[in-house]
Amino acid sequence: MHIHRTRIVITSSRDPSIRTRNFLNILTSLLPDSVKITRGKKSKKEIFERAINLGAIYLLFVLAKNGNPLRIIVYDLETFSIKYFFKLHGLSLPSDYNIPLYQIKRHNSVCIELNRCDFLRDFLVDMNIYNLSNNCDVIVNTRLVSNNICELLFTLSTKNIKFLKMLLEV
């Protein structure tokens, strides 16, 4: 029996919209060794404690405004400090591509094909997206849109179907 260590805990602000919950589910399926915690009425302190008890290294919060994911904040659980802070400028989920969520299942191999955003390199590695092999279920490509905005595009490699796109600003 192989036991996976929880590396990343993913959660949201309180009372997330369906769109935000779908985004969390997709992130959980894409980020290796990640687990989603439903926030509910838990305080931030309780979420941090739960993540630490799971042995996680990072806590990823998705904050929303008016029902749309707006920010991604990643905390380093060893130093209890913010390691990454991104503003989401655009987000296209599988539903925007008419792809049902059940087709986006947990993938064993998410690989970077092309990274043209230097400021995302450490983030992608910390999120366990660094495999550069040819045997990948999902391919990630990044492209620099402006000095501080980068587009991430996720594609199912077997069918060459784009299913997730986000614009991140540092």
The C-alpha torsion from 7 through 118 and 88 to 147, rounded to 10°, is 160
Q: Quick check: is 60 in a domain? A: yes
Model pLDDT for residues 32-74, shown as the tens digit of each residue: 899 999 998 999 999 999 999 999 999 999 999 999 999 999 9
Query: What HEC string does 88-157 produce?
Result: EEEEECHHHHCCCHHHCCCCCCEEEEEECCHHHHHHHHHCCCCECCCCCCEEEEEEEEECCEEEEEEEEC
Q: Quick check: is 2 in a domain? A: no
Most confident of 2-11, 96-105, 158-167: 158-167
Euclidean distance between CA atoms 149 and 120, whole angstroms: 10
The total of structural domains in the chain comes to: 1
Token readout for 167 is 């614009």
The 3-state DSSP class for residue 82 equals: strand
Q: Quick check: is 103 in a domain? A: yes
Structural domain of 129: 8-169
Please, are residues 107 and 137 in contact by the beta-carbon 8 Å criterion?
Answer: yes
Give me the pLDDT at residue 158, please. Answer: 79
Model pLDDT for residues 94-117, shown as the tens digit of each residue: 999 998 877 777 666 888 988 899
Give me the pLDDT at residue 133, please. Answer: 65
Q: Quick check: is 37 in a domain? A: yes
Q: Quick check: is 1 in a domain? A: no
**Nearest in space to 113 (alpha carbons), one of 73, 146, 58, 162:** 162
At residue 153 the predicted structure's pLDDT band, cuts being 50, 70 and 90, is very high
Q: Quick check: is 85 in a domain? A: yes
Euclidean distance between CA atoms 30 and 87, whole angstroms: 19
Q: Quick check: is 94 in a domain? A: yes
23 pLDDT exceeds 80?
Answer: yes
153: CATH: 3.40.50.10480
Q: Quick check: is 3 in a domain? A: no
Euclidean distance between CA atoms 134 and 84, whole angstroms: 28
134 pLDDT exceeds 80?
Answer: no
